[in-house]
Amino acid sequence: MSKTVAQLVVQSLLDNGIDQLYCLPGVQNDDFFDALYDQQDSVSPIQARHEQGAAYMALGAALATGKPQACCIVPGPGFLNAASAIATAYSTNAPVMTIVGQIPSSAISKGFGLLHEITDQSGILAGLTKHATMVNNGKNAASQLRHAWGLLCSGRPRPVGIEVPVNIWTETAEAEDSVSSPSVIAPHPDHSSLDTALDLIRNSKAPMIAVGSGAQGVSQLVTELAERLSAPVTAFRNGNGVVSSDHALRINMPTGHRLWSDCDLLIGVGSRMQAQRMGWGIDQNIKIIHIEIDEEELTRISKPDAAIHADAADALPLIMEALGAQPDRSGWVEKVARVKQEVQKTLMSDLAPQAAWLSAIRDALPRDGIFVDELTQIGYVSRILFPSYSPRTFVSTGYQGTLGWGVAATTGAAHARRDVPVVGVAGDGGALFTITELATAVHHNIPATYIIFNDNAFGNVRRFQIEQYNNRPIASDLTSPDFVALARSFGVMAERAETPEALKSCLGQAVVNDGPNLIEVPALNDLPSPWPHIMLPKIRGT
């Protein structure tokens, strides 16, 4: 039995394990949603209030689960509204399938001024994704979809885009039993690179491991490697949670920086090690092993001494099987423990107000609860002080630093992980970017908890203007709403907490509520600057 292209795209969602579609329907995609109508018991539409909200929800869900998610948006302004979320998915290695409508295929690039027409939408989409394709006819639709899903579900996880012109949705497509992603063979570790890495490890007296988002799926293997090598493991943003924060060898970035001068071997797993190589500095006395599934990353910043192009899940077992006896590194372990304790004491003193708020959140969450950070003072400090005990329990924008993603991303994470509490933080500035998605959370009864820290300013911008520009703040003060009243007007359970103890109490009630919650922390001003502990200076090399 033949299918339309719209029906085939819906089938591709089903065949690739997608059971919810974050979306905002519109005229160019009406035929697609008509096809989805018959399958909505299997693929639930989660309609957002803004295209950026739909894409951020898919992103939050992908980061919290590690599994492919999908969103669907209209072309032109709808697509551009979602562009920052797609770019963030690219930077955070999130597998988000983005289905984008298009104007009629015969009118593309003609400049007729049709509804939602923009110049070179395909080029923009290609620049934001791992792969982008336009379905131009029913005959090739199945092969294009299969190829796109194959790329989404293999190799380095990143977003993939599919465009469908409005006139193509109803074209007859080749009947297919399945449009699931084809099997893709991961690159096999090169034996010479593995041998080089093993030699470097055996000769190392002070190894360190750096993990990024590419290590989220190999938590146990990284932990075992750290224990075998007596190597501390450092992470920032998207590597948090790979090794539990209460493990003796898990260190934050300020501790890693303090130890950096003595480190003689850095092993990067699913991380470009940008902070260490470009920020802290390297010299001839430190060797680098880089394990990375994306071959282009291996030499992007500097050439490692051992470049292992492979999935870490394949490479790490081979390394550990061949390690053999290791040298005595007890002195290094003792130093790591001492420095870790010293740095933690300093951080808890220098950043005491932020630490108190973060401790309240941590105390109210179970160990497997998910924390979503934002571009706000509490969010910045969370990257070095918030304990994360399991993979994918610390969700961050990564290097993209996407202000305003928090409310929508938290909503998506909470929708996809209803089995655990999900708490997101935001400032009053960033919160208003996607605050409309409170309506989505209410409509779908999503048990997300949002904490809004309100200082009536773009607080970080204002801090820099005061501290670095001779106390000349400009365009950084804000007039913010009563977030409790606003949330309640949506039907969200909302409270105000003026102390960390009150926040902990409010969170205790929120995490057991089967629906959305908002907690406002008002008048959060004059927090100590976190930046001396985050923007760490170069201490090696030139």
Tens of pLDDT along 56-106? Answer: 999 999 999 999 999 999 999 999 999 999 999 999 999 999 999 999 999
Going by pLDDT thresholds of 50, 70 and 90, the confidence category of residue 176 is confident
Q: Which residues contact 470 (CB under 8 A, 6 or more apart)?
A: none
> Count of CB atoms within 10 A of residue 196's CB?
18
Q: What is the residue-wise DSSP string for 41-69?
A: TTSEEEE-SSHHHHHHHHHHHHHHHSS-E
Give pLDDT, residue 162: 98
CA distance 143 to 138: 10
Plot region of 111 (φ>0 → left; ψ -120 to 50 → alpha; else → beta): left
Q: How confident is the model at residue 542 (pLDDT cuts 50, 70, 90)?
A: low
**Quick one: which of 524, 515, 521, 503 has its CA closest to 364?**
503
Distance in angstroms (rounded) separating the CA atoms of residues 261 and 281: 9
Domain with CATH 3.40.50.1220 in the chain: 191-336
Alpha-carbon distances of 1 from 4, 16, 43, 173, rounded to whole Å: 10, 21, 21, 10
Structure confidence at residue 525 (pLDDT): 76
Query: 164-179 burial, b for 16+ CB within 10 Å, e for fewer?
Result: bbbbbbebebeebeeb
Tokens of 145: 């979809």
Which superfamily does CATH assign the domain made up of 3-171 to? Thiamin diphosphate (ThDP)-binding fold, Pyr/PP domains (3.40.50.970)
- Give the model's confidence band at 526: pLDDT under 50 very low, under 70 low, under 90 confident, else very high: confident
Q: Which CATH superfamily is domain 351-533 in?
A: Thiamin diphosphate (ThDP)-binding fold, Pyr/PP domains (3.40.50.970)
Centroid of chain to Cα 518:
22
Task: Give me the pLDDT at residue 181, please.
Answer: 81
What residues contact 248, with CB distance under 8 A and at least 6 apart?
A: 337
Buried b vs exposed e over 250-262: b needs ≥16 C-beta within 10 Å? bbbbbbbbbbbee
Distance CA 413, CA 433 (A): 17
- Beta-carbon contacts of 385 under 8 Å, excluding residues fewer than 6 positions away, are 252, 347, 348, 351, 354, 355, 358
Question: Would you tell me how many other CB atoms lie within 10 Å of the CB of residue 400?
Answer: 16
pLDDT digits (tens, 9 = 90+) for 296-334: 999 999 999 999 999 999 999 999 999 999 999 999 999
Would you state the pLDDT for residue 524?
77
DSSP state of 280: I
The residues pairing with 36 across neighbouring beta strands, listed in sequence order, are none
Mean pLDDT of the region 166-190: 87
Q: Is 90 exceeded by the pLDDT of residue 152? A: yes
What tens digit of pLDDT does each residue of 97-139 get? 999 999 999 999 999 999 999 999 999 999 999 999 999 999 9
Domain spanning 191-336: CATH superfamily: TPP-binding domain (3.40.50.1220)
**Would you mind telling me the total number of residues written for the chain in this entry?**
542
Task: Report the first-to-last Cα separation within the chain, whole angstroms.
Answer: 67
Mean pLDDT of 512-518: 96
**pLDDT band, very low/low/confident/very high, at 501 (cuts 50, 70, 90):** very high
Q: 313, 232 in Cβ contact below 8 A?
A: no
C-alpha to C-alpha distance for 102 and 32, rounded to whole angstroms: 12
Average of pLDDT values for 401-408?
97
Q: Where in the chain is the domain with CATH 3.40.50.970?
A: 3-171, 351-533
How far is it, in rounded angstroms, from Cα 122 to Cα 127? 9
pLDDT confidence band for 1 (50 / 70 / 90): low
Confidence (pTM): 0.97
Contact 344, 223 (CB under 8 A): no
Q: Is it the case that residue 523 has pLDDT exceeding 90? A: no
Q: Across all residues in the chain, what is the average pLDDT?
A: 96
Query: How confident is residue 185, by pLDDT bands cut at 50, 70 and 90?
Result: confident
- 425 pLDDT band, cuts 50/70/90, is very high
- 186 band by pLDDT with thresholds 50, 70 and 90: confident
Give the per-residue SS3 of 234-278: EECHHHCCCCCCCCCCEECHHHHHHHHHHCCEEEEECCCCHHHHH
